Amino acid sequence: MQIEICYLCIIKLLVLKKVYLDNNATTPCDPRVVEAMLPYFYEHPGNAASRSHPFGWEAEDAVDIARQQIAELIGADEKEIIFTSGATEADNLALKGVFEMYSRKGNHIITATTEHKAVLDSCKKLEKLGAEITYLEVGSDGRVDLATLEAAIRPTTIVLSIMWANNETGVIQPIKEIGDICAKHGILFMSDATQAVGKIPVNPRENGVHLMAFSAHKMYGPKGVGALYVSRKDPRVKVTAQMDGGGHERGMRSGTLNVPGIVGFGKAAEIARLEMAKDAERVSKMRDRLELGLKNALEEVYINGNREHRMPHVTNMSFKHVEGEGLMMTFNQNIALSSGSACTSASLEPSYVLVALGLGDDLAHSSLRFSLGRFNTEEDVDFAIKSITEGVNHMRNLSPIWEMYKDGVDLNSIQWEAH
Ligand SMILES: *Cc1c(COP(=O)(O)O)cnc(C)c1O
């Protein structure tokens, strides 16, 4: 067989600058994490549940160390860490496990419309099994209203699930205040903290959080491993296992532990604990530089979501009268990021998170999510400002709507005709 080599493609690959600004989708694995993991593929192949030989003991010891590193990052006891395959599984285990375990107390769950699909779809499934769900709306800044939240609590409420920080906007919820309300009413507080752990200080106990989901690959660890924090005292929380088998993880999650993955997760947690403050400062400066650069270069640019209570590495911006997916095509060979449109089946739907903030379909479709990370540089940011400015100008120059806007036509007064 003859393999044709496309020299042009190779040259393109070599010289094309590629900038990764999609760290909320997943982060690169830190090389120090990879190095820590490697011995656990071949040199130490044991199953952490094999109690009868040194290979098993070595694996168990490695898992214990990782559990400690992760517990230390979030101020928990290591017995409160249940390993899972990721945050999706942890969200499922928390909600479905609590619903099953506490069914005698009630069947009502409170969550918000801007939660991750792993939470929303778990709630939808539970509705079919007899749960009653309240989906709280959020304000235009993306935060839940505490009075509305408290008013939604019923005698049958068992758990409230509100994420720590949103994956699309970076908006941080008033976690401590929500924790106080849950404590006052004696209900469980579950939080999906996948976007917050490892990037800002997160301590479930100090904030009244009883169950908390997070994931290694959002904090410079490997994909396919995550954890559910389950409070062991005041209150001692139990969840019904959703996976039946060998009774691993104190009976809450059966399945052979992903030893290399867990070792990497632990190393990522240790690095985060030591370097989080420095990383956050550096990354937030780059984020501010990006926002300022784009706002200075372009008209009609909007930042979505609360700007004060926001993750340091995220900005979600709308470029009015520019369609985000089309805009991305002007630079997506060079810059990786996400738009405010989601492909559901054949159509392009505006992001449900941005719609929940009250953005019209047009502003939601014209948005881009930039999520910076540990491995980005100022050079990356300047390259993004330049490419996106060019892309927006290009799209607007082709757009009759932009022309009308520039001519001072009131676009709301136009009756659009559907074809
Ligand atoms: C990425 C993400 C998840 C899913 O995590 P996985 O480990 O990929 O399953 C859940 N919640 C939030 C907020 C996320 O950002």
- Average pLDDT, integer, range 237-255: 95
Query: What is the per-residue pLDDT across 290-346, written as a single tens digit (0 to 9) for each?
Result: 999 999 999 999 999 999 999 999 999 999 999 888 899 998 789 999 988 876 556
16-20, 229-233, 271-275, 335-339: segment of lowest average pLDDT: 16-20
- pLDDT band, very low/low/confident/very high, at 348 (cuts 50, 70, 90): confident
Whether the Cβ atoms of residue 336 and residue 21 lie closer than 8 Å to each other = yes
- pLDDT band, very low/low/confident/very high, at 13 (cuts 50, 70, 90): low
| Average pLDDT for the chain | 94
**Centre of ligand 1 from the C-alpha of residue 167, in Å:** 8
| Ranges of each domain in the chain | 19-24+276-406, 31-271
In sequence order, the β-bridge partners of residue 18 are none
**Centre of ligand 1 from the C-alpha of residue 55, in Å:** 32
Cβ–ligand 1 distance for 215 under 6 Å, the answer: yes
Cβ–ligand 1 distance for 81 under 6 Å, the answer: no
Q: For ligand 1, atom 9, which residue shows the shortest CA distance?
A: 88
Q: Burial level of 53, CB count in 10 A (0-12/13-18/19+)?
A: exposed
Cβ–ligand 1 distance for 279 under 6 Å, the answer: no
Q: For ligand 1, atom 14, which residue shows the shortest CA distance?
A: 194
Cβ–ligand 1 distance for 199 under 6 Å, the answer: no
Cβ–ligand 1 distance for 169 under 6 Å, the answer: no
pLDDT of the residue at 4: 64
- Give the position, in ligand 1's atom list, of the atom nearest the Cα of 91: 10
pLDDT at 3 over 90: no
Query: What is the per-residue pLDDT across 191-212, written as a single tens digit (0 to 9) for each?
Result: 999 999 999 999 999 999 999 9
Cβ–ligand 1 distance for 369 under 6 Å, the answer: no
pLDDT at 9 over 80: no
Q: For ligand 1, atom 12, which residue shows the shortest CA distance?
A: 194
Mutation choice for ligand 1 from 26, 194, 316, CB with most ligand atoms inside 8 A? 194
Give me the CATH topology for the region 31-271: Aspartate Aminotransferase; domain 2 (3.40.640)
Cβ–ligand 1 distance for 194 under 6 Å, the answer: yes
154-163, 218-227, 273-282, 321-330: segment of lowest average pLDDT: 321-330
Q: Annotated catalytic sites, by residue?
A: 343
- Average pLDDT, integer, range 174-180: 98
Cβ–ligand 1 distance for 226 under 6 Å, the answer: yes
pLDDT of the residue at 314: 98
Q: For ligand 1, atom 15, which residue shows the shortest CA distance?
A: 167
Query: What is the per-residue pLDDT across 101-132, written as a single tens digit (0 to 9) for each?
Result: 999 999 999 999 999 999 999 999 999 999 99
**Centre of ligand 1 from the C-alpha of residue 396, in Å:** 34
**Centre of ligand 1 from the C-alpha of residue 223, in Å:** 10
pLDDT of the residue at 282: 98
**Centre of ligand 1 from the C-alpha of residue 335, in Å:** 22
pLDDT at 15 over 70: no
pTM of the model: 0.94
What's the CATH class of domain 19-24+276-406? alpha beta
- pLDDT band, very low/low/confident/very high, at 288 (cuts 50, 70, 90): very high
